[in-house]
Amino acid sequence: MASSVNNIAATFATVAISSSSSSSSTPATTPPSTPSSINPITFSHPISPQPISASWNPQTTLHRSQRSSLLSLYGPPGPKPFPQISTVHPSPIIRRSKTISVGERLPNATLAYLDRNDNLVTMNVSDLTRQKKVVLVAVPGAFVPVTGSKRFVTGFLQKAEEMKMKGVGVVACVSVNDVHVMKAWGERLGVGERMMMLSDGSGDFARAMGVLVDLGGTSEGFGIRSKRYSLVAVNGVVKSFLLERGDVDDILNLL
């Protein structure tokens, strides 16, 4: 039995030596390269596999040379910055802490209206009042019955020709409403060419006059509006000013 085991061991030793000798004596053959074979690209700094994670930061895990390549292609990590938004600057209208007074110049705000062809027309107050006498009537809102706006404006409308006979060049009604509302209200009142219906849509003119009032506490949705007033201005300077009082007859007596 012992001799059999020795014979088997000797046989395996002979096979191992001969295999080693033949493998060392036979040169290794390299398969011929073909045009279709592709040599793999070896990075000098191999990238270790990383699990997909929203918190993975290539700035801390990649070599500097690889970070530079990625930054040039994709930019820095993190969300892209928001595009710059141009800042809208408010119009340079003076904000008064008190109501305008007689002897002061009307603020040069921009008012607007729709002409008979529904074209939008804008004008500065200085252009409206230059070299002429103007009667300006303001109400909290068009089509508002509870404020007496219709009765107030109708009185000036009925005596517009009489005021023009006293040298008034323009009779105008202004309200913090849009141009479409003001035109529709003018058509309802039948103003024609007797009175201009001007929109102070953003309330800039009322604010600069010191007559802006917040009526937003009601369910009607009035919001920011103008107080009711009437005034006479000559070449842009206030000559008479009646706030929340008076009517067309009072203005006629002041002309």
Domains of the chain (ranges, CATH numbers): 110-254 (3.40.30.10)
Instruction: Considering only the C-alpha atoms of the chain, give the largest distance between any 2 of them, rounded to a whole number of Å.
Output: 148
Summarised one tens digit per residue, pLDDT across range 197-255 is 999 999 999 999 999 988 776 666 677 889 999 999 999 999 999 999 888 999 999 99
Summarised one tens digit per residue, pLDDT across range 41-84 is 555 555 566 555 555 565 566 566 655 565 566 666 666 665 55
Task: State how far the Cα of 99 lies from the Cα of 32, in Å rounded to an integer.
Answer: 99
